[in-house]
Amino acid sequence: MIDKHIIAFGGDGFVADPQNKLSAHFILGLTGKAHPQVCFLPTATGDAATYTESFHERYSDDICESSHLNLFFREVKDLRGFLLAEDVIYVGGGNTANMLAVWRVHGVDKILREAYEKGIVLCGTSAGSLCWFECGVTDSFGLDLAPLFDGLGFISGSNCPHYDSEALRQPQYHKFIMEGLPGGYAADDGAALHFVNGSLLEAISSKPNARAFRVEKSGNEVTETKLAVRFLGN
């Protein structure tokens, strides 16, 4: 059976710290290839060129062959053929709801399901973390955080990125779970959740002391279970 990998980052930091390639080496190592092909999807920022440039700096030619796929100004005719030829597909941050809508218009959601079943490593940060789950916490709908219920659903339950860097993330996630949002996983910036075949294998980090949690409703309260996190710098 082909193992199906998803790595969901609470915040990967390749804009602020492009030279920290710990997470990149971890992801590329999952492919088992010496010089894998990696494609970046910057849809959630409207295909912002500067964001894409930061990604290419992190995933530079010395460790892989990187490309990107724009959907607002399409340059690729055969989206399916393009994406299914990759070893890794990395989804950037931004507006999750808008990204999912654009993907569905172009059929990228279905292609990503094919990629997942094929064993192509799927990963991403922020919106690129939340999208793989059924639901989660987003700022896609305005200035306030809100629940999002129409993720791709490759992973059961909910997700909350940026757990340490945005003060309202933790209390709002708890509030939404109390109101009926399914329990799930939260990750700090620098931490990531590595799922294999839909189940959590481990939490990793490219930043010392970054945390990850299982968060769920228990009776009349929400409980957090801190997960063991393996720092990739050791």
The first and second tokens of residue 81, run together, are 């053929």
What are the residue numbers of the active site? 126, 162
Strand 65-68 and strand 121-125: the pairing is: unpaired
Cβ(182)–Cβ(159) under 8 Å? no
The first and second tokens of residue 195, run together, are 């799922």
- If you count them, how many residues does the chain have? 234
Left (φ > 0), alpha (ψ -120 to 50) or beta: where does 55 sit? alpha
Q: Tell me which amino acid residue 201 is.
A: L
Question: Count H helices, E strands: the chain?
Answer: 7, 14
